[in-house]
Amino acid sequence: MTAVSEDLELFRDMIVRALEQEVAPHYEQWERKGEAPRALWNTLGAAGLLCVDLDEKYGAAAADFEVSQILLQEAARMGFGGLASGINIHGNIVAPYIDHIGNEEQKDYWLPKMVTGEAVGAIAMTEPGAGSDLAGMRTHAVRDGDDWIINGSKTFITNGLQAGLVIVCAKTDPSAGSKGISLFIVDTETKGFSRGNKIEKIGQHAGDTAELFFEDMRVPHSAMLGEEGKGFVYLMQELPRERLGVASQSMGAADGALALTIDYVQERKAFGQSIAQFQNTRFKLAELKTQMELCRSYIEQCKVRYREGKMTTEEASILKLSATEMECKVVNECLQLFGGYGYTLEYPISRFYVDARVQTIYAGTSEIMKEVISRGMVGRG
């Protein structure tokens, strides 16, 4: 084992111990309640689990990029799907946006707060009538002297209820199409910002999802993230990491679901033998393992491409499509092997099942992924 892999395993052990201590004893209660406490973010920050690969000058560990993916993978493997999604948005998406695009003042102000959990991050792209269609965005920002006035609404925003900062996508030039989109870092204490009720979901119940509203919300020009009109370029630039994070969640969840199922089929008896002895069970498990390992290999390939700065939007789309569809297939087949017990809340495989379903929807639906991939093959239809 190399020194790098030894370090990664040490980080993995630290992550697992922290999740077992701080999350596992309470997660069932949070799922039933439909939310995790706000203080959890401070706890995760104190444990060194937030924004782990940011620079030390922000109070982070300056760990390898791989560690951020291990965190997502392990949280998902342990059945904490809602938490994994929240951490993905906070540390794997919002923090890199600010780190890569923000100016020094923005980074120095927000990133230390994100590392400690003092400020929870969210990103607001999706709108009630637009979905994955950013060109149909209606939220707009109008320049007024040294300020911008933002009006509009967003929906399905992960961390929306607990966020202290939100990266808001808004049209600053409605006539320019995708070239008229800009990004703003919005402090949620800003007048004109409000939150809707918590969105009730079929899964990831402990995860915080909400609608956000902006009514004549005035922000200074200094709140703009990057350059005016380059929002769409930035979104495309950061997509590879976002989709790597989702794929890491998928891989972890598939690992967790399969491990539960292997244990169950060896213990469960039917017709005088464990159901692991039936050829159908063994063949199903073999098929799932094969699909998972192929997906794992592509994830590793994409990580290398990302580190080299060579990962393309098409590769990110292939990764997101293949990993999330794989996860849904694996948890579905695993639940089937549990029989009727798989459909009960008593067995955690049921949570893996409902938590997985949104993975093929958020961060770009499977249908949008296919559209992006096909355009690179035969152009637009």
Catalytic center residues = 242
Task: Provide the 3-class DSSP secondary structure of residue 193.
Answer: strand
Residues with Cβ < 8 Å from 195, sequence gap 6 or more? Answer: 160, 161, 188, 210, 211, 212, 213
Q: Enter the tokens of residue 353.
A: 């099942």
Residues with Cβ < 8 Å from 48, sequence gap 6 or more? Answer: 14, 18, 61
Return the DSSP state at 250: H
CB 65 within 8 A of CB 306: yes
H or E segment to which residue 157 belongs: strand 147-158
CA-wise closest residue to 312 among 321, 302, 323: 302
Q: Enter the tokens of residue 191.
A: 């007048």
Taking the CA atoms of 189, 191, 193 and 197 in sequence, report the sign of the dihedral they define.
Answer: positive
Torsion, CA 124, CA 128, CA 131, CA 133, rounded to 10: -90
- CA 376 to chain CA centroid, Å, is 25
Task: Give one DSSP letter per residue of 301-343, joined into a string.
Answer: HHHHHHHTT---HHHHHHHHHHHHHHHHHHHHHHHHHHGGGGG
CA-wise closest residue to 375 among 317, 334, 319, 328: 317
